Structure 1
Amino acid sequence: MGPELARTLLIFTAIDFSSNGFHGKIPEAIGELCAIQMLNLSHNSFTGHIPQSLGNLVQLESLDHLSNKLSGRIPSQLTNLTFLEVLIFSQNNLVGPIPYEKQFNTFETDSYQGNLGLCGFPLTKQCGSGEGPEQPAKMIREDDGGSRKAFFGDL
């Protein structure tokens, strides 16, 4: 009988590369990990733009890029991530308007802290004219318990 070959698990659902001292650009190929649900690249020294290919990770529930040196805009392709529950881009050098479609309507200001060049909802810094489409109107509704909650809708 010949030796048995060990099988390598080809589907990873979580990848945690946090605090590893990685530097350079985040590879576009990371967008090919289509079954991934959690990606943590926090506390490294990644530079450059957030890859647009991350918008292909439609199963993603958690995306953490906290404390890197990322620059540029947040790609609009990330609004394709409709299962996203956790989003952390804090402490980078990101600029421009924050996408506000789909799941991006649900994230609080702490997802973006420390990026002085970002603007738009949910931050108080408004974008200048020509930086992005007009933001949706904020509406208030009362839930069954009588408390008021903000929500956003296409008007």
Structure 2
Amino acid sequence: MGAPNHSSYDYSVSLTLKGLEIELVKIQTLLTSIDLSGNKFTGEIPQSIGKLKSLKLLNLSHNQLTGNIQPSLGNLSNLESLDLSSNLLVGRIPMQLTYLTFLEVFRVSHNQLEGPIPEGKQFNTIDSTSYEGNLGLCGFPLEKCDSGKRRQPTASKEIDSKSKIGFGWKAISAGDQ
């Protein structure tokens, strides 16, 4: 008679924070906002964040995250705001992010990103200030990409090894959705 009772707790994650391992056994799949900005987190963005499909806001700005922007973030189909600014991210902005049709806020400023900015859909509405501080980026709304030469990426920022606080993330296990 009633709808089947689906558990709203399908995810778990282990975090290492200040040398202490914390097990978050149950995270609601209905979680809509994650703001971990300004924490001096290091390491790469976990691919498993792409499984949190109810997210509307993800803010990982003002940390010391490295590596590439995970293409799995393109799975966050409800995402309205993604802020990855002021980190040490490298590489290209994944084309998979063009799947985020509800995206209103997208910030990757002050990283070390390079290559063409994805075109189409919501990316045609993003202001140039969202990309500043990435000398290697090109394309709308910045300068047109030169097919012969790439612009030089910004110089590396130094990380104080004494202030490293790692995510220490382990895989998030999820039930089928």
TM-score tier by shorter-chain length is 0.7 to 0.9
Matched, 1:127 2:148: no
Unaligned runs of 5+ in 2: 1-8, 10-25, 150-177
**CA deviation after TM superposition for structure 1 residue 66, in Å:** 1.0
SS in 1 for 2:109: coil
Q: 1:62 aligns with which of 70, 81, 84?
A: 81
66, 75, 78: which one aligns with 2:94 = 75
Question: Of the candidates 62, 66, 74, which is equivalent to residue 43 of structure 1?
Answer: 62
| Mapping 1:1-150, distance limit 5 Å | 10=28, 11-123=30-142, 125-129=143-147
Residues 17 and 53 of structure 1: is their aligned pair in 2 closer, same or farther, counting only changes over 3 Å? same
Greater relative contact order (CA < 8 Å, ≥ 6 in sequence) = 2
Work out the CA distance in 2 between the residues paired with 1:86 and 1:116: 21
TM-score between the two structures when normalised by the length of structure 2: 0.67
Query: What is the letter of the counterpart of residue 114 of structure 1?
Result: G
SS at match of 2:114: strand
CA distance in 2, matches of 1:13, 1:36: 4
Cα deviation code 1:14-41 (max 9, x no counterpart): 0000011100100100100000000000
TM-score normalized by the length of structure 1: 0.77
Secondary structure at 2:89 match in 1: strand
Q: Which structure is larger by alpha-carbon Rg, 1 or 2?
A: 1
Alpha-carbon displacement from aligned partner over 1:27-78 (angstroms, at most 9, x marks no partner): 1001000000000000000000000000000100000011000000000000
- Aligned alpha-carbon RMSD (Å): 1.5
Task: For 2:54 and 2:91, locate their aligned partners in 1 and report how far apart those are by CA, in whole Å.
Answer: 26
Identity fraction in percent: 60
Deviation at 1:88, TM superposition (A): 0.4
Quote the offset at 1:126 in angstroms.
Answer: 1.7
Structure 1 unaligned regions, length at least 5: 1-6, 132-155
Which string of whole-angstrom CA distances, capped at 9 and with x for unpartnered residues, describes residues 105-150 of structure 1? Answer: 0001001000000000001x2212289xxxxxxxxxxxxxxxxxxx
